[in-house]
């Protein structure tokens, strides 16, 4: 897995050499959740809270980016449920400025359960997100996500 992550990092960084005058955008975030629900499942049983720090690197506004997201419960007993998500993504838009403008993001995600055997719990996912930010005049943004794990 480390070889693939290093390879992807080198590919994406080499693609951005032409965009030297643009800035590298790094976002660091930490979110407290009273319940962690993923794809409809309560990941920390009995409504336990968690913290979700993340680092997102947008590669010089090329549309490519890398994200690392950590999911950790605030109480004990969930050590096997702790995970790190590594995401490589590309985002862009169609029909900018129009009422039917569509933003999309295509991602490859590696789910790493840190305290579980690698071949038992770890998984990969392909995800496509679609948003229509201008279609509803009241500020509601329809969003659709398709994923395959």
- The domains of the chain are located at 2-148
Model pLDDT, residue 121: 76
Model pLDDT, residue 133: 92
Of 116, 125, 28, which Cα lies nearest the Cα of 69?
28
CA distance 75 to 66: 29
Q: Where are the alpha helices (DSSP H) in the chain?
A: 2-15, 118-121
Question: Which CA distances in Å does 133 have to 66, 82, 143?
Answer: 23, 33, 9
Model pLDDT, residue 110: 92
CA distance 95 to 92: 10
**pLDDT per position in the chain (149 positions), as tens?**
555 555 555 555 555 554 456 788 889 998 888 777 776 666 666 767 778 899 999 988 899 999 999 888 776 666 666 788 999 999 999 998 888 899 999 999 998 887 766 667 788 999 999 999 998 888 899 999 999 87
Model pLDDT, residue 18: 47
CA distance 39 to 148: 12
**Distance between terminal CA atoms of the chain?**
17
- Asked if 83 and 114 count as a contact pair (C-beta separation under 8 A), the reply is yes
């Amino acid at each position: 897995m480390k070889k693939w992550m290093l390879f992807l990092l080198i590919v994406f960084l080499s693609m951005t050499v032409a965009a030297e005058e643009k800035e590298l955008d790094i976002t660091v975030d930490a979110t407290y959740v009273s319940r962690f629900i993923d794809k409809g499942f309560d990941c920390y049983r009995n409504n336990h809270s968690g913290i979700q720090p993340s680092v997102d690197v947008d590669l010089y506004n090329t549309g490519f980016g890398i994200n690392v997201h950590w999911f950790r419960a605030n109480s004990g007993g969930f050590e096997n449920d702790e995970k790190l998500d590594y995401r490589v993504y590309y985002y862009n838009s169609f029909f900018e400025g129009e009422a039917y403008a569509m933003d999309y993001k295509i991602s490859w995600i590696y789910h790493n359960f840190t305290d579980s055997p690698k071949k038992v719990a770890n998984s990969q996912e392909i995800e496509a997100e679609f948003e229509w930010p201008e279609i509803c005049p009241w500020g509601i943004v329809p969003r659709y996500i398709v994923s395959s794990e």
